[in-house]
């Protein structure tokens, strides 16, 4: 099946710093989503971004489908950004089920 690799596995930031989270995947996809799982376990959809660039406040994401990677940018990080960030991809024509990476654990310190 499709492989999804996220890096780095862990990230510690000082409040106010910027960061880039990376997701590499092994096959063509028509569905790529970024999620934030907060410390209470709730998964929040950040972006649906199979290709191109999107921005939402301090967060932005870029997917280069032809090169099989996606980047999530967090600017001016806040303590509430802490948690686990998951990249998840879906194969073309596969009923939109998602394969998740192992996640990136982000800790933002005050």
Partner 1 sequence: DTGVSQDPRHKITKRGQNVTFRCDPISEHNRLYWYRQTLGQGPEFLTYFQNEAQLEKSRLLSDRFSAERPKGSFSTLEIQRTEQGDSAMYLCASSLGLGQRDAYGYTFGSGTRLTVV
Q: How far is the CB of 58 from partner 1 (least distance, A)?
A: 19
CA neighbor of 24 nearest in space, from 1, 39, 3: 3
Q: How far is the CB of 45 from partner 1 (least distance, A)?
A: 5
83 neighbors 46 (Cβ within 8 angstroms): no
Judged by CB under 8 A, the stretch of 10-18, 34-42, 53-61, 66-74 that binds partner 1 is: 34-42
Restricting to residues 49-108, which ones interact with partner 1 according to CB under 8 A? 50, 86, 88, 90, 92-93, 95-103
Q: How far is CA 47 from CA 33, 82, 109, in A?
A: 5, 17, 24
Question: What is the distance between the alpha carbons of residues 90 and 76, in angstroms, rounded to a whole number?
Answer: 30
Q: Which residues bind partner 1 (CB under 8 A)?
A: 4, 30-31, 33, 35, 40-45, 47-48, 50, 86, 88, 90, 92-93, 95-103
């Amino acid at each position: 099946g499709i492989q999804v690799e996220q890096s780095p596995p862990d990230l510690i930031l000082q409040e106010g710093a910027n960061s880039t989270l990376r997701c590499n995947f092994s096959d063509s996809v028509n569905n790529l989503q970024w999620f934030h799982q907060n410390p209470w376990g709730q998964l929040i959809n950040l972006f649906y971004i199979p290709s191109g660039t999107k921005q939402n406040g301090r967060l932005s994401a870029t997917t280069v489908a032809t090169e099989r990677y996606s980047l999530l940018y967090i600017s001016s990080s806040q303590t509430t950004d802490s948690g686990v960030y998951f990249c998840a991809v879906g194969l073309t024509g596969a009923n939109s089920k998602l394969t998740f990476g192992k996640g990136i654990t982000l800790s933002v310190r005050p």
